Structure 1
């Protein structure tokens, strides 16, 4: 769905020219492709050398939306070789990919608020909109400056925008399952205000948040406690006594599928308890297909015995963190940025979701012994295959098997 008209001065650019994309495809493959990962996939998703087995999830790594965003960013530099190119925040949540763009001279702009950096943009500059999209006031600012715009917003994200705009048009409040401070959720929340800015939203992160909200839907309650609970997660002028009458549920596309579905169920039940029917409740399936596929593939993978799970990706990646949450319920799991986090057989550097910080831990005893070991590896939609390859090599090296043997297998 196109952005609303109005101050439409920005120049949308189609950089997907055949001549450009041929070169871009070669560059992207050189940076991120892995022959080892592809070989393992063709052999049933596992590789055993000696008494060490690496098992890959059936679905992991770059999704179509991420691939498209990266391709468009690379193409932008080809089409505009001499011009300044800026990116709103990060193209995706992966340090390796964002470093590559920085090396190409693509400058990251602040994304949490419109800073003075945006005032310095000119009509000759190129602005890349990331895969998460950007809030409407960012887009309006860029439009007023007349910049060239390369929009890489994922189609699944725009599908959510269409839903929340529909809610606003019909006078319904959007209940958004997501992280209030996440780029995608901020972009979605801005669309939930509707084209005239009179719509409303509330962002819920957890089932506890949902239960609090549902109690208010059913019974009303303490307004001050409500505002304290959802501080920075509400639309301007939100009134819980008015704006929870007619509600629709949407979500940040990278959230845990089962949790979004449970939120939908609980909100619907609360509305029915209050009203006697669900006439004031609506929901559409806005869960990203790639996110769902990666979660489902991990659940299937966990049915097989493994000693250790490694989840590779950027620590600020929402869809990757949910893979960690799933795996750690079943076996020792480490969330690592890349292979450098596997320092040696004594310790691993990883991100602890509960402590919200990077920590150093020891491995499970099985990894340190001489017996058979099976290590599972998966990754979120923003992790390139070359980082998976590096991790595979490192695991085998720690078990005394060199890179040449892995390549020859």
Structure 2
């Protein structure tokens, strides 16, 4: 396979009217739920006998996810005679990624990105997922001369703009996120700036932030600092806390827990002001939490104001925004993070992901089996399609001896 000339990649527009009309019909067939839409239209609650299901006001696909999926489907149609590759996963939902694989889109695992991209040529098409991609990967794609279908979310690109500006003005980006997550890796690469001389540090927990804040205020052991954060490329090459914590700007992975990000911003600002004085110009911050993430978190807080016996959160186990919904729910009531309706094995047996063990496990609960009236809450992150919510809702009613026909009749569909 011959090498392509350097820097000849082509960003292509696949959103032509004739293509998108067919694509949107296909996407609706795969992911839409008229049942869920009907329930939402009647106040997001359905009650049959002793069983009530309440849906969060906002859940499921956001605009950025819908756009990414549309573009991936369109790429397969437009380039039906070519190899079409996807960097990792289009979004973090196994059902959606399974559909793309069945359409013949070749997923390149994150661990093999550089190796596999180096084998491509100018006849190949590469889909960049909603999370974006690191600058080094985009450079390889350009060198191979591939055609690019870029589905990067606009909210993610807004964060990139901020961190690039931090680098341009000599500020270090403190990024609240998961250092190994595709989006944070892409953002970190932009934090190096257009000249490659910027710096970043990725923090995940409040303990991480307190450690950084203590160093900002008091200094400390540089070797110990670097050792603490060296995993998963959590800081830029040549990062020196004695130098690069003098001026900092905060950004975040767009799908983080809003309240935690705000607390991180507050603590870092206070640390800089304790060192440099109130109103110091050595601290900058911009709100870069995704609007859809905020809506889904806020909607769950509203749902939790209603009486609920159990909460089901549906989505991919590696979905960051979905994980934070689980964290919110766990603080108030029994909460189960399930991938699909099939995880509800029976009224007592539930297969779910345990955030603390970081593994799937089986739990036995009598919440769904109660002979008394029960109320089940259901929500999902921005990467979960409505058809999976429908499956879950119907499964709950079926286990409670209520047929699909009864549910559809009650919803008026």
| Superposition TM-score, scaled by structure 1 size | 0.97
Q: Deviations over 1:367-403 (max 9, x none)?
A: 2121101000000000000000000010000101011
Deviation of 1:346 (Å) = 2.1
Contact 1:344 1:398 in 2 (8 A): yes
CA distance in structure 1 between the aligned counterparts of 2:41 and 2:329, rounded to whole angstroms: 24
- Give the 5 Å matches for 1:20-169: 20-112=19-111, 114-169=113-168
Corresponding residue for 1:317? 319
3-state SS in 1 of match to 2:59: coil
Corresponding residue for 1:13? 12
- Give the 5 Å matches for 1:2-401: 8-112=7-111, 114-231=113-230, 232-277=233-278, 278-363=280-365, 365-401=366-402
Range 105-114 or range 368-377, more displaced: 105-114
Divergent runs of 4+, >3 A? 112-115
Q: Deviations over 1:124-168 (max 9, x none)?
A: 000000000000000000001110000000000000000000000
CA distance in structure 2 between the aligned counterparts of 1:351 and 1:116, rounded to whole angstroms: 32
Deviation of 1:405 (Å) = 0.8
Q: Deviations over 1:300-355 (max 9, x none)?
A: 11001000000000000000000000001000000000000000112100000001
Cα-Cα RMSD: 1.0
CA distance in structure 2 between the aligned counterparts of 1:162 and 1:355, rounded to whole angstroms: 36
3-state SS in 2 of match to 1:360: strand
CA distance in structure 1 between the aligned counterparts of 2:370 and 2:268, rounded to whole angstroms: 50
Deviation of 1:236 (Å) = 0.4
CA distance in structure 2 between the aligned counterparts of 1:308 and 1:282, rounded to whole angstroms: 41
CA distance in structure 2 between the aligned counterparts of 1:191 and 1:281, rounded to whole angstroms: 19
CA distance in structure 2 between the aligned counterparts of 1:288 and 1:333, rounded to whole angstroms: 24
3-state SS in 1 of match to 2:337: strand
**Closer/same/farther in 2, CA of residues 82 and 40 from structure 1, 3 Å limit:** same
3-state SS in 2 of match to 1:334: strand
Range 116-125 or range 183-192, more displaced: 116-125
Contact 1:7 1:140 in 2 (8 A): no
Deviation of 1:120 (Å) = 1.4
Contact 1:46 1:56 in 2 (8 A): yes
**Closer/same/farther in 2, CA of residues 188 and 22 from structure 1, 3 Å limit:** same
Q: Deviations over 1:39-61 (max 9, x none)?
A: 10001000001110010000000
**Closer/same/farther in 2, CA of residues 167 and 88 from structure 1, 3 Å limit:** same
CA distance in structure 1 between the aligned counterparts of 2:252 and 2:120, rounded to whole angstroms: 32
CA distance in structure 1 between the aligned counterparts of 2:247 and 2:112, rounded to whole angstroms: 30
CA distance in structure 2 between the aligned counterparts of 1:83 and 1:16, rounded to whole angstroms: 18
Deviation of 1:117 (Å) = 1.3
CA distance in structure 1 between the aligned counterparts of 2:68 and 2:89, rounded to whole angstroms: 11
3-state SS in 1 of match to 2:86: strand
Contact 2:121 2:145 in 1 (8 A): yes
CA distance in structure 2 between the aligned counterparts of 1:210 and 1:7, rounded to whole angstroms: 42
Contact 1:90 1:108 in 2 (8 A): yes
Contact 1:123 1:148 in 2 (8 A): yes
CA distance in structure 1 between the aligned counterparts of 2:146 and 2:338, rounded to whole angstroms: 37
Deviation of 1:112 (Å) = 3.9
